[in-house]
Amino acid sequence: MMKLSKKAMAAKRMSETLHLYRCPICYKGMNVIEDRQLGCVNNHQFDLAKQGYVNVVQQAKKTVYDLGLFEARNQICRSGFYTPLMNRISMLVEELFTTGDELTILDAGCGEGSHLTELLDCLEQESVGIGVDLAKEGIQTAAKHNDQGIWFVGDLANTPFNNQSFDLILNILSPSNYAEFNRILKDQGLTIKIVPGANYLQELREQIYQGTEQAEYSNQATIDRFEEAFTLIRREDVKYQVELSTELFNHLIKMTPLTQDADLTRLKPIDLITVELEILIGMKKVM
């Protein structure tokens, strides 16, 4: 059988999930038009890129994240760097969603898409996974490497999704927009937010921020904001260490915004790095 192109596959997946989408300009429903666009009755149209994603952002926004960063992030994810975290998330999802119904999952700020793919691979439950990110380079990398998800370049402040579309929003090491999350979550929906723990990439932080206040990181303000927006039903820490080959170390220093202003040539190689992440699970507050 002939293999569908990435664009045709994306058109097919979007056609099967049309009830989830709305036009980000006029908020009407959208259709897939001739396998090449997503569009609404008011003629707002968004092209399907040949790589298999749709960009619904009106004006391109420059982010600090470039293609090199997302490719490095992809290599790090593929090495299993975040697998203990993703395994724990998938166990929690299986435990918290027990109806057996198909789950609709949005990865908000999905970057290069590996986390969503890893979760979809782990879950036994039927699920539809959508990733959205403002960085076109992230979504291009996601669509290139991951065939399972549906990928959008979009802004978390105005997503192309209908009210009450998702059972689960994942928000991993990314900014959030809780008003928008609550709009698109189903009433019984959950948000799983991952924030860095105090010792996340500590060995790298120590080199970059030696002696400055930034060498120590507190996530308390982020957790407080999450608790204002959702009813916190679970909070737990995942902590482990990862051995780094020279190759992985080189990917690691390219994949994190921490090193954005650092002179990478002055960094000393690290062979064991700490990954500490906090999992926050919030239930939508229904007014």
Ligand X SMILES: C[S@@+](CC[C@H](N)C(=O)[O-])C[C@H]1O[C@@H](n2cnc3c(N)ncnc32)[C@H](O)[C@@H]1O
User: Residues interacting with ligand X, by CB under 6 A?
Assistant: 63, 65, 73, 109-111, 115, 133-135, 138, 155-157, 172-175
Is residue 23 near Zn ion by the rule CB under 5 A?
yes
Render the chain in DSSP notation, one character per residue: -PPPPHHHHHHHHHHHTGGGBB-TTT--B-EEETTTEEE-TT--EEEBPTTS-EE--SS----S--HHHHHHHHHHHHTTTTHHHHHHHHHHHHHH--S-PPEEEEEET-TTSHHHHHHHHH--S-EEEEEEES-HHHHHHHHHH-SSSEEEE-BTTB-SB-TT-EEEEEEESS---HHHHHHHEEEEEEEEEEEE-TTTTHHHHHHHHTTSGGGS---HHHHHHHHHHEEEEEEEEEEEEEE--HHHHHHHHHH-GGGTTS-GGGPPP-SEEEEEEEEEEEEE---
Of 34-42, 88-96, 146-154, 245-253, the window that binds Zn ion (rule: CB under 5 A) is 34-42
Q: Which does 192 bind (CB under 5 to 8 A by kind): Zn ion, ligand X, none?
A: none
Q: Which does 65 bind (CB under 5 to 8 A by kind): ligand X, Zn ion, none?
A: ligand X
CB of 178 to Zn ion, least distance (A): 25
Q: Which does 26 bind (CB under 5 to 8 A by kind): Zn ion, ligand X, none?
A: Zn ion
Is residue 31 near Zn ion by the rule CB under 5 A?
no
Tell me the number of residues near Zn ion by CB under 5 A.
Answer: 6
CB of 100 to ligand X, least distance (A): 28
Interface positions, 200-239, toward Zn ion (CB under 5 A) = none
Which is nearer to Zn ion, 14 or 40 (by Cβ)? 40
Q: Which does 242 bind (CB under 5 to 8 A by kind): ligand X, Zn ion, none?
A: none
Residue ranges binding Zn ion (CB under 5 A): 23, 25-26, 40, 42, 44
